[in-house]
Amino acid sequence: MNPITLQKFRASGFHLGTWLSLGSPVIAELVGLCGFDWLLIDLEHGAVGESALFASLQALRGSRSAVIVRVGAPHPDLIQRALDWGADGIMVPHVDTAEQARAAVRAARFAPHGTRGFSRSVRALDYGLAQEPPSAAPLVLAQIESAAAVSHADDIAAVEGIDVLFVGPADLNFELKATEAPLAYTECLRRVAEAARAAGKQAGILNRNAQDAAALHAQGYAVQAIDSDLAILRQRYQDLVSRFSVMPEARQPAR
């Protein structure tokens, strides 16, 4: 972990990120050179296995982007492995209560503030060349993806060690409709942003439409991931096919 990178992420201001879902170290290395404030490697829904995660983290060594790993579940062993391998922080999906948020923080921190196991031989400590763990605590982003999480947003935001309340729009929208919750999505966004602001924390969101960035920022969403490697490639491929599918057939050479 780079203390300067963590300090910049925790400072106020707009933090531009993007999603890495394909598990390609080449794409990770390229994106890491492009100047994003932070990157998210997705182990929950992405095509990223543990070997690809390790290689992607290696490819991002020296990048000025904060590297966050979204674990597939809030299991301490998954959280520890991502951090031992060199991630700057974790994103934990489906954090519905303050107790779940506290459990995530405990799993990410060493004693006396947590229960994370300590080994000097891991990549995060340069395979034993570093003698002490990083002085800065890893970043912890709690995903708000349900009506229950929105209702507990104030309590989650108040948990020491939680840096960002991060809305998962797909899950939240799906859950609101599936359960016929009496909350509108826009109202959920307002409540989460207000909870984060009141606790002196940041609010974040995965933004699939770059044109919405300014409006979301005005609402309080300073931590935004704009699209993903998969979506960017898909859109570009579709644009190319759409553009050139209308080309006239090549003229056949005369015989």
- Please list the active-site residues: 45
Give the Å distances, CA to CA, from 84 to 77, 127, 151: 10, 10, 33
By CB atoms closer than 10 A (0-12, 13-18, 19+), residue 223 is buried
Q: How many CB atoms lie within 10 A of CB 138?
A: 25
Closest CA to 177 of 153, 205, 207, 147: 147
Name the CA dihedral angle for 28, 32, 38, 44, rounded to a multiple of 10 degrees: 0
Residue 6 · residue 37 · CB < 8 Å: no
Extract the tokens encoding 246.
Answer: 């209308």
